[in-house]
Structure formats: structure tokens, C-alpha cells
Amino acid sequence: MESKEFKNPVVSWIDHRLPIFSFLDHEANEYPTPKNLNYFWNFGSLAGIALVIMIVTGIALAMSYTAHTDYAFDSVERIMRDVNHGWLIRYIHMNGASFFFIVVFIHIFRGLYYGSYKAPRELLWMLGVLILLLMMATAFMGYVLPWGQMSFWGATVITNLFSAIPLVGENIVTWLWGGFSVDNPTLNRFFALHYLLPFVIVGVVVLHLVALHRFGSNNPLGIDTRGPQDTLPFHPYYTIKDFFGLSVFLTFFAAAVFFVPNMMGHPDNYIPANALQTPAHIVPEWYFLPFYAILRAVPDKLGGVLAMFGAIAVLFVLPWLDRSPIRSARFRPMFKIFFWLLFIDCLVLGYIGAMPAEGVYVLIGRLATIWYFVHFLIILPVLSVVETPRPLPQSISKPIFNAAGGGLAGAMSAPKEKVE
Amino acid sequence: MRRFLVSLIGIFMSLPVLAAGGGDTVLKQGDWSFSGPFGHFDKASMQRGFQVYREVCSGCHSLKYMAFRNLADLGYSEAEIKAIAAEYDIQDGPNDEGEMFTRPGIPADRIPSPYPNDNAARAANNGAYPPDLSLIYKARPNGADYLYSLLTSYDEAPSGTQVPEGMYYNAAYSGHMIAMPQPLYGDDVTYADGSDSSIDGHAKDLVNFLAWTAEPFLETRKRTGVAVITFLILLVGVSYGAMKFIWSDVKKA
């Protein structure tokens, strides 16, 4: 890395020995970013901020939380009642988990729509899927900590999934629990891991950013930047745009925290855990519902578990399933239709996951599960071959289409010229 | 892509409906002062609700997360709280001789539970455990309407319905068979302020009280929320203006 001259002599002195200021200047200030990014590109930085919010509030909560089955529920109530602003910190943390997932899901669907997973960004995408997996593990274990009814029964159901593994399944479950049921050892290790994993996520996020800055952001046109005329320095253009996005995000987030803090939670989790009383419906947190629906769609325990993990696994290999060289759905008319079908399919799966596994819900859940895998394993590879993409613009700064199909830009600008 | 956001908001809004789950009951709707973004507690009603709790509910139900000092939120003065606390006998100890002893309550004490432990509570109630009421408002879907309906929906079972021994018919309870005998009939307690002491009045006062025990910072939360949201909306405007200003020299592609 070339070192840069700084006006401040202290900064210069440090930078000569430890080029941290050159690094920041290069990666956060002048970092060339495509000039045509739309608001869907805000969600990456929002996810990073959500992670920081979760870690900061989480550390504050850990200072007043007691990881013991006899005291966990009471300690959370103590935070809510007697710790200064404890109710605020906890509601931020509780709702922060949901908002973190909302932001990350939008971030992922943006990547799917604009083909951000394609070469040369395959590792960037795979690191992102790894972050999603780590987030799911962290969120699941965090939900167990208040030791309410849903905490306990959710932990029981999900850890029991591992018993589906042939031969050693039961042993693995006993090992996970640290006993013969979800109990105090389970709560203790979940607390330890819930504290650890966010920092692992931070590590993977750093790798995610390193991989991102290798080739820079994808963009809505999905074509590579061709030079300085296509890009803007990250600061101030995208710092201010991210700041604007952040203020909008915080408005929605604050509305949830201050006015409907329990909307995305389950009332049963305000009932202390009771191993002798099973809730009528054990429902996971909303962000797990699509995966829960896939789990229940397969009428075999091992098959269901494999399908659920398979739903994430297909995302890992997505760059090799979708072989089309065109990234953005804007230029892929058939892919665009199937993208929206997949999106609806995920919503249907989420809805089915919240419904009891009976009657017509089972059938819909199975069809939606099949469609999910058909989309990734059959439709995307086939589309790569059969689809005729629309002509690509030459560059970001000259979105002029090569072929006859692109008369839109000219038609829009013609009347305006007359007025001027 | 805009449709995408709209649908997302749609799901977001329908989540509480999904979470509420199935039910074979229809709840009565109450008009609660604490609902809505500007919601606030009705202190007079909460004091009456506390009276109903003390004279009726507390025979079986604990309120273990509440301390006497918390009653200041209901508008009681320090002297009144000391007087209320002193009416209770609190077991304390061990003292220097190693003996447990009983003393009058002080504001720092939690409200004592009616039973020494869960097993005693079950034994005294036909095996059914009377739940702690501190969080009951948050622990049931649609808590306020649910509690109000439950308290006022005891009835004769419709003909043909068998009510098992030790169970009671309640139209608002899931499955309609509840182990709790009808707690309120109207005029169960005498209100000093002459308010409506019908079963309806009692139930509403009690709901106002229990909403507070579950969510004691509700007023602070909503008041802070209004200020925070106002600030954030201004920030959205300012940051949007700043963004437009900074981007004004960029030629639209």
C-alpha cells in the first residue's frame, strides 16, 4: 500500500510506521464505488450497524443477566424493572434481532436480484451465507436465555433435530444438552456461545468486507465499472447516503421499540419455562419460520433436517447453479419472473411455518418447499442456458443500449429537450 | 423492487395476527387509556384495581415482581405506601440467634405471595396452579381484552356441555373449561370514590392495574418514543437534504 502524506505531523508519524490512516483513507474515503447504486445497497451498512447495536446492548444486558435456570427469568424481569433504562436496552436488543434479520433478508434478496453472487464475488457471497448461518445460531441461543416457555420448548425442539443423525444422533443431543434434557448446563453453554458468536460474526464480516473491497460493489446494472467516470469516492457520496438510510431505518426501529416492543415476540415467553407443560403451539421466532416450514414439510425427521440445512446449503453453491454471465435481473426477463416467484414462495413458507402442521397447510408447505429447491436446482441452471438476455448497456455512465430494444432512454429525454 | 418493500411491510404488519394463534373465543373489546402511541395510565382506576387485587385476587395469585415502593406509580404518597406495606407481615431472618421472624412490611419489600411455594399453591387449588399476575397482561395474546373478557365471561354452560368436577364454564377461555372459580360478581369491594363497582367496572380497573404491573415503564416508554421519533423524522429530513446537496454535482446516469 502506498503511504500518503497527511497534514497532521502526528498522523504522518504514526502512518509511516502503522499505515492505518492510509488504509482508512483508501478503503473508506476514496474507495471508488459505482455511481448508480440504488437504496437496496444501503442494507449492507445497515446490517453492520445492527450488529454493533446488538453487541453493545448485549454486553450491557449480560452485566445484569444470570445464566441459571432458577434465576434467568427473574433476572430479565429485574432488568425490565429495576435496572436503569433496562427496559430500553432489552427492548432494543429484542427488537434489534428482528430488525437485523429484516435488514439481512433484504440484503440477501438484493444480492439474488442483481446477481451479486456471480464471478468474481463468489467468496463474498459465501461469506455472507456463513454470516447468516452464524446469525441464526446466535439468535436461536439468545432466544433461550430469558428462559420463558418458548425459550425452553424452542430449545427442546431444535436441539432434538440432531437426534435425526443416524447412529450417533442421540449421543450428540445429550452432548449438546450437557445432560438428559434441556436444563441448566444447556442454558449456561448457550449463554457462553451467545456471547462468543457475535464476535465470530464480526470476524467474518471483516472478511466479507475484504472480499467486497477486492472488486468493489456490484450495481443495479450488474456490469463492471470501466473507469473513474463510472464511480464516486465512497466519502462523502455514500457516507451521506448510508447516513440517510440509517436515519430512516432508526425511525422504523424506534417505532417498534417504543410503541410495539412485543409485537414480534411471543406472549408465551413471558411465562417462566415449565418442563411439565408444553405450549399449545411451539412457534419459532418469525425469522426462522420459512426454515421451520421446510423442516416440517418432509414427513421424515432426518429428511426434514436435511432439507432445512439444504435450504441454506443451496445458497452456498448458488454461484455455480446460476451459470448465466448476466448479473442483473433487469436484463434477464425470465429470471426476473422466477425471482419474484421465489420471493413469494419464501413468504408462503414463512406463513406456513407459523400455522399448525395440519390439513391444507401441510400440502401448501410441501409444494412451497419443492418449489424452493426446484428454483435453485433446476430453474436457475436451465435458465442459464435457455434465456435470451436483453442487451447490456456499454457502461454505467453511458447507459446506451447496443441494440434496437433500448429506445427507452431516448424516448424519455426527447420531450424534455424541446421544453429547454 | 418497490413491490418487494411493500410486501415486506405487509408481512411485518400481519405478524401479530400470526402470533396470536388459533382460538375458539371472541374477545370483548375494551377502551384502554394506555393503548396507542400517546397512551397513559389511569391512576385512579389503577388504585381501584390494586384494591380489587388485594381484596379478591391475592387470596390465590401472587404478584411477586412488584414491591410496595412501586405503588408510587399509582399516585400513592410515601406515607401511604409505608402504611400499606406495614399492613403486611413479612417473614425475615435469620436473626442473630438464627431464628426466622415476622415483621411489618416496608416499601422495599416485594408484595408477599399467598402460598409459601408452588406445591402449596397447587395443593390448595385442586392441582391447578394460580399463575403469578405480574406479567399476565404480556403473557397472553391481546392481554387487556383477554383479561377483561375472561373476568366477565363466566356463564352457565350451554345445554349438552359437560362441565367436569372442579371446572367452570368461561366463554373467553380457550376450551371454555377453566379451573379458576368466578372471581368477580360485582360489588366485591367497596370503592371509596364511588366509582362503578359492577363486574364490568371491577374488571376494567383490574386490567388497568395489571397492565401497569406487566409494563411499569409503559408511559415513560411511549413518551420517550414520541420524542425520539420526532427527532428521527427531523434527522431523516436533514440527512435527505444533505444527501441531495452533496449529490447535486453528480450527473445522473
Q: Which residue of B has its CA nearest to A246?
A: B236
Catalytic residue among A45, A217, A324, A328: A217
Is A107 catalytic? The answer is no
Between CA A214 and CA A212 the distance in angstroms is 5
**Cβ of B97: how many Cβ atoms within 10 Å?**
7
Verify that A215 and A300 share a domain, yes or no.
Answer: no
**Cβ contact A247–B247 (<8 Å):** no
- In chain B, which stretches have pLDDT less than 50? 1, 3-8, 10-22
Per-residue pLDDT of chain A (420 residues; tens, 9 = 90+): 455 678 999 999 999 999 999 999 999 999 999 999 999 999 999 999 999 999 999 999 999 999 999 999 999 999 999 999 999 999 999 999 999 999 999 999 999 999 999 999 999 999 999 999 999 999 999 999 999 999 999 999 999 999 999 999 999 999 999 999 999 999 999 999 999 999 999 999 999 999 999 999 999 999 999 999 999 999 999 999 999 999 999 999 999 999 999 999 999 999 999 999 999 888 999 999 999 999 999 999 999 999 999 999 999 999 999 999 999 999 999 999 999 999 999 999 999 999 998 889 999 999 999 999 999 999 999 999 999 999 999 999 876 655 444 444 433 433 333 333
Nearest to A161, CA basis, from A294, A352, A354: A294
Between CA B20 and CA A279 the distance in angstroms is 13
Question: To probe the interface with A, which of B17, B110, B246 has the most A CB atoms within 10 Å?
Answer: B246
Q: Given the C-alpha cell 425475615, which residue does it identify?
A: B92
Last residue of a domain, one of A244, A267, A283: A283
Nearest to B201, CA basis, from B187, B212, B213: B187
Last residue of a domain, one of A248, A268, A283: A283
Q: Is residue A10 part of a domain?
A: no
Chain center to CA of A188: 26
A263-A271-B186 Cα angle (round to 5): 90
Verify that A276 and A299 share a domain, yes or no.
Answer: no
Between CA B68 and CA B66 the distance in angstroms is 7
Is A64 catalytic? The answer is no
Verify that A256 and A295 share a domain, yes or no.
Answer: no
Verify that A82 and A102 share a domain, yes or no.
Answer: yes
Residue A220 exposed, middle or buried by CB count within 10 Å (0-12, 13-18, 19+): buried
Q: Which residues have CB under 8 Å from A351's CB, separation 6+?
A: A289, B18
Which one of A74, A247, A350 has the shortest CB-CB distance to B232? A247
Between CA B205 and CA B43 the distance in angstroms is 10
Residue A328's domain comprises 284-394
Q: Is residue A14 part of a domain?
A: no
**Cβ contact B242–A240 (<8 Å):** yes
A387, A333 contact by CB (below 8 A): yes
Verify that A193 and A330 share a domain, yes or no.
Answer: no
**Could you tell me which residues are beta bridge partners of residue A34?**
A231
**Cβ of B3: how many Cβ atoms within 10 Å?**
9
**Cβ contact A35–B135 (<8 Å):** no
**Cβ of B188: how many Cβ atoms within 10 Å?**
14
Between CA B39 and CA B28 the distance in angstroms is 20
* CATH at A370: 1.10.287
Q: What is the CATH number of domain B25-66+110-226?
A: 1.10.760.10
Helix (H, G, I), strand (E, B) or coil at A414: helix
Which one of A270, A343, A355 has the shortest CB-CB distance to B138? A270
A68, A187 contact by CB (below 8 A): yes
> At A179, which amino acid appears?
G
The reported pLDDT for the residue numbered A418 is 35
**Cβ contact B131–A271 (<8 Å):** yes
Q: Is residue A420 part of a domain?
A: no
**Cβ of A389: how many Cβ atoms within 10 Å?**
15
Verify that A273 and A297 share a domain, yes or no.
Answer: no
Residue B174: its chain A contacts at CB < 8 A?
Answer: 280
**Cβ of A373: how many Cβ atoms within 10 Å?**
15
**Cβ contact B15–A263 (<8 Å):** yes
> At A184, which amino acid appears?
N
Verify that A176 and A198 share a domain, yes or no.
Answer: yes
The reported pLDDT for the residue numbered A280 is 87
A163, A170 contact by CB (below 8 A): yes
Q: Is residue A288 part of a domain?
A: yes
Which one of B22, B236, B246 has the shortest CB-CB distance to A247? B236
The reported pLDDT for the residue numbered B161 is 87
**Could you tell me which residues are beta bridge partners of residue A33?**
A232
Between CA B62 and CA B74 the distance in angstroms is 19
The reported pLDDT for the residue numbered B251 is 72
Verify that A143 and A79 share a domain, yes or no.
Answer: yes
- Strands (DSSP E) along A29-102, which ranges? 32-34
**B197 CA: distance to closest CA in chain A (Å):** 30
Between CA A11 and CA A20 the distance in angstroms is 9
Q: Is residue A4 part of a domain?
A: no
Q: What are the φ/ψ torsions at residue B169 (nearest 5 degrees)?
A: -90, 130
Count structural domains, chain A: 2
Domain boundaries, chain B: 25-66+110-226
Instruction: Report the largest interatomic distance among the alpha carbons of chain A, rounded to a whole angstrom.
Output: 80
Output the CA torsion B202→B206→B209→B215 (10° steps).
Answer: -150
Alpha carbon separation from A152 to A83, A157, A182, A215 (Å, rounded)? 25, 9, 7, 45
Last residue of a domain, one of A283, A306, A329: A283
Verify that A50 and A146 share a domain, yes or no.
Answer: yes
Between CA A381 and CA A359 the distance in angstroms is 34
Q: Is residue A316 part of a domain?
A: yes
* CATH at A88: 1.20.810.10
**Cβ contact A248–B236 (<8 Å):** yes
Give B113's DSSP letter.
P
Verify that A299 and A349 share a domain, yes or no.
Answer: yes
Q: Which residue of B has its CA nearest to A85?
A: B217
Q: Which residues have CB under 8 Å from A232's CB, separation 6+?
A: A32, A33, A34, A35, A238, B250
Residue B102 exposed, middle or buried by CB count within 10 Å (0-12, 13-18, 19+): exposed
Verify that A304 and A379 share a domain, yes or no.
Answer: yes
Between CA B67 and CA B74 the distance in angstroms is 12
Q: Is residue A399 part of a domain?
A: no
**Cβ contact A354–B239 (<8 Å):** no
Q: Is residue A17 part of a domain?
A: no
The reported pLDDT for the residue numbered A401 is 57
Verify that A301 and A332 share a domain, yes or no.
Answer: yes
> At A327, which amino acid appears?
R
Which one of B19, B21, B232 has the shortest CB-CB distance to A250? B232
**Could you tell me which residues are beta bridge partners of residue B90?**
B103
